[in-house]
Amino acid sequence: MTIKDIAKLSGYGVGTVSRVLNNHPDVSERARKKILAVVESQGFEPNSNARHLKMQAPSSIAVLVKGTQNMLFADILERIQAVLRDHEEDVYVAYLDEDADEVQYAVQLQKIRRPKGLIFLGGDLEHFRRSFYQITVPCVLLTNQAADLKFSLLSSFATDDTGACEAVADFLVEKGHRTIGVLGGNLSAEQISTLRLNGIKNALARHQIAFDSEIQHEPCRFSMACGYQAAMKLLRRMPNITALFALGDVIALGAMRALWDLGLRIPQDISIIGYDDIASAQFCYPRLTTIRQDTAALAEKGVQALLRRLSSSEAPVHEIIPFQLCERESVQPYANAESIVKKG
Amino acid sequence: MTIKDIAKLSGYGVGTVSRVLNNHPDVSERARKKILAVVESQGFEPNSNARHLKMQAPSSIAVLVKGTQNMLFADILERIQAVLRDHEEDVYVAYLDEDADEVQYAVQLQKIRRPKGLIFLGGDLEHFRRSFYQITVPCVLLTNQAADLKFSLLSSFATDDTGACEAVADFLVEKGHRTIGVLGGNLSAEQISTLRLNGIKNALARHQIAFDSEIQHEPCRFSMACGYQAAMKLLRRMPNITALFALGDVIALGAMRALWDLGLRIPQDISIIGYDDIASAQFCYPRLTTIRQDTAALAEKGVQALLRRLSSSEAPVHEIIPFQLCERESVQPYANAESIVKKG
DNA sequence: CTGAAAGCGCTTACAG
DNA sequence: CTGAAAGCGCTTACAG
């Protein structure tokens, strides 16, 4: 069943059929009705290969997701798909390893699938710096701030990582914590780790609290298993920690398990705070205090920006999305003898 | 950059270039080398629209995933993608709502994207019964058993749901539990719920233990929030339950939270057992005893079957994948006065 | 408002 | 082993 068949069946030429199919204006109401009826009755769908070949117009929007098990990205992706579906855009999703070079992958993808735009869910700025110049279609990076890179084809939307981490540190200090351990972040998320760590350091410095990242920070990948091991390692090295800050909720979840196994009660013996606010954060025991990233805003603004960029080639936009500190049950005020003395 | 440019640059005709690109045999080594060199130097990738249009050969394999937040499916999908990538197959992934009609969707998808094969991650047999006859390419249904449907284009690989649930019931009975509550399953997963519930009923009947599904079973969707509410509801209705069986780990996780909130200790006051063995099962507190579905086998066998079916049109295959009961910390033996009396 | 025709970039018999 | 040519199913100026 091709457009030719429809033409024959409807008594019109292929040109007219094509015009009807593409909602072009210059068609008589009569022709439109007749042709649509035939199309309907035959259940005809135009061949997208032929269409795209002719139109030279690339078809879909590709989404590159870094990490299959990342619940935060799953949330965002869900929204992205919904919004894109509303706009009748075709979406192509590819999952990459947490450590993969997403930009290299995008360069390949661009040649093979010729998407008209790309959305990166997570990314390493180093990769962008190195290879993004090879990309020729509008892109949006979600979850990382790319303003500094100044690529004319790259917009970005990210949570205020530094601010959020300052808020966490302030919050913990306010609760009386002075010896804080940090879990997570690694080479594959260079920038995120750095921004978040900086936020912590800034706030702590402001409170004149020392923080030696060499010993108080244990990097790890974003998974429960890694969070578990990292927590074990960190606590062995520094048993006097009173509060843990995990740079991702999955890390926090793994760490909480480690704390249980060490016989530490949360939050009586040690407090813990996460980052992301994935679904589990509300159902684990105790409920996890965490930083909520606004996944809906990230997804929607990202898609809108890409769509706008696609129709009118305006300048790239970079936006910081506000975070929210969700106070739940995993943090408790702390006051030991020493700090009481100091206060007095 | 088209094949014509490559032809010009290499001094050969487009036919020869095409043959080289497609690894056809009848090309001189000289031509192959020369052309490949030019292709390489130009970073040329053939236009897939043109290629597919001409070849009339459908391009990709589509995977339809029911439920975005389903961790079990995320695991399986990850393997599917890996295997398909090894076979250099192009994958198209679409996420559907847990309650969506995946077969209707597939019928549309088939017209629009013309995939050469489909993999369903989860599905409702009712939908298949109703609309699968409209599907014209080989398909594999994962996680549900479709042998009874006898569609010549549909293979299926599923865990032995009934057997697994019998095993769970046996296990709980053996531990002394007599009053068991069941959580999960709904209309959108008609068959799975039925099979699993049957397994439970069979085993319980064998042990001569009454089970009134009207009051001992609370259906719910596969999410923590729903598991939480379902557990609350069930326990209000039947406070004397000594063991809960959740038909999905996410449901179990939500239910565990409900138990905590009700002041019930796990497993001292009440035991709980899950289904799937997602990552969280090993990190929650207490660690969740659960049925492990063999996601790797499901994914690999499914893909292999599809690939085989694509190259040689053999008969569909239906296979039951073995399960495994992972005993962890959430179940404890139970013995109340009554049951001790009875035994004596 | 409509039809005939060119052409998008490829693959593949068909000759040679 | 290689080239010239037809044709995959569509869209879009170009005439009318």
Q: What is the mean pLDDT of residues A133-148?
A: 93
| Chain A residue at shortest CA distance from B57 | A49
Instruction: Test B224 with A279 for CB contact under 8 angstroms.
Output: yes
Taking the C-alpha atoms of residue B64 and residue B67, their distance in angstroms, rounded to an integer, is: 9
Q: Report CA(B5)–C1'(D3) in Å, whole number.
A: 15
A96 shares contact with chain B (CB less than 8 Å): no
CB-based contact, B224 to chain A, within 8 Å: yes
Mention every residue, 6+ apart, whose C-beta is less than 8 A from residue A145. A156, A158, A161, A191, A195, A318, A320
The contacts of residue A290 (CB under 8 Å, 6+ apart) are A249, A252, A273, A274, A275, A276, A277, A281, A325, A326, A328
Q: Between chains, do B224 and A68 touch, taking CB under 8 Å as contact?
A: no
CA of residue A44 to C1' of nucleotide C4, angstroms:
23
Mean pLDDT over each residue of chain B, to the nearest integer: 90
Nearest CA to B151 out of B160, B162, B140, B163 is that of: B140
What average pLDDT does this structure show over A226-232? 97
The predicted structure's pLDDT at residue A342: 43
Residue lying closest to nucleotide D13, CA to C1': A15
- The reply to whether B2 touches chain A by the CB within 8 Å rule is no
Residues of B in contact with A47 (CB under 8 A): 53, 114
- Minimal C-alpha gap between A205 and chain B (Å): 34
pLDDT at position A229 over 60 = yes
Provide mean pLDDT across the span A21-47: 87
Nearest Cα residue in chain A from B47: A112
- Predicted confidence at residue A67, as pLDDT, reads 80
Q: What is the pLDDT of residue B87?
A: 84
Which residue is closest to A113 within chain B, CA to CA? B48
Spatial strand order in the sheet of A289-292: A217-218, A180-183, A243-246, A271-276, A289-292, A324-326
Please give the model's pTM, rounded to 2 decimal places: 0.85
pLDDT given at position B130 = 95
Spatial separation of the C-alpha atoms in residues A43 and A50, rounded to whole Å: 18
More confident of the two residues B328 and B85: B328
Which tokens in the block code for residue B203?
């085993």
Most confident of A191-205, A313-327, B103-117, B177-191: A313-327
CB of B225 within 8 Å of a chain A CB? The answer is yes
Question: Is it the case that residue B55 has pLDDT exceeding 90?
Answer: no
Q: What mean pLDDT do residues B279-300 have?
A: 96
Please count the other Cβ atoms lying within 10 Å of the Cβ belonging to residue B73.
23
pLDDT at B340 > cutoff 50? no
Q: Give me chain A's average pLDDT, please.
A: 90
**Which residues, 6+ apart, have CB-to-CB distance to A113 below 8 Å?**
A60, A62, A92, B48
Residues of B in contact with A285 (CB under 8 A): 256-257, 260, 284-285
B271-276/B243-246 β-pairing: parallel
A28 strand C contact, CB < 7 Å: yes
Which among B116, B17, B140, B109 is positioned nearest to B60, based on CA atoms?
B116
Interhelix angle B224-237/B249-261, rounded to 10 degrees, is 50
Å between B344 CA and nearest CA of chain A: 39
Residue A153, pLDDT score = 93
**What's the Å distance between residue B1 CA and nucleotide D11 C1'?**
21
If pLDDT is split at 50, 70 and 90, which confidence band does A57 have?
low
Computed on alpha carbons and rounded to an integer, the radius of gyration of chain A in Å comes to: 26
Instruction: Name the residue among A50, A81, A280 with its Cβ closest to that of B253.
Output: A280
Q: Least CB-CB distance to B95: which of A48, A81, A260?
A: A81
Element (H, E) at B209: none
* Spatial separation of the C-alpha atoms in residues B38 and B4, rounded to whole Å: 12
Q: Could you tell me if A114 lies within 8 Å of chain B, comparing CB atoms?
A: yes
CB A64 within 8 A of CB A117: no
Q: Select the highest-mean-pLDDT range: A160-164, B70-74, B312-316.
A: A160-164
Nearest residue of B to residue A258 by CA position? B283
Residues of A in contact with B2 (CB under 8 A): none
- In this complex, the answer to whether residue A34 has its CB under 7 A from any atom of chain C, a nucleic strand, is no
Residues 36-55 of A with CB under 8 A from B: 43, 45, 47-50, 52-53
The C1' atom of D10 and the CA atom of B50 lie apart, in whole Å, by 11
Q: One-letter amino acid identity for B318? A: H
pLDDT of residue B343: 41
pLDDT at A340: 44
Strands (E), B49-133: 61-66, 91-96, 117-121
pLDDT value at residue A179: 96
**CB-contacted nucleotides of strand D (7 Å):** 1-5, 7-13
- What count of other Cβ atoms lies within 10 Å of the Cβ of residue A88? 6
CB A141 within 8 A of CB A127: no
> What pLDDT score was predicted for residue B23?
87
Note whether B283 contacts A257, CB cutoff 8 Å: yes
CA distance A4 to A13: 8
Residues in chain B: 344
Question: Can you give the pLDDT at residue A19?
Answer: 92
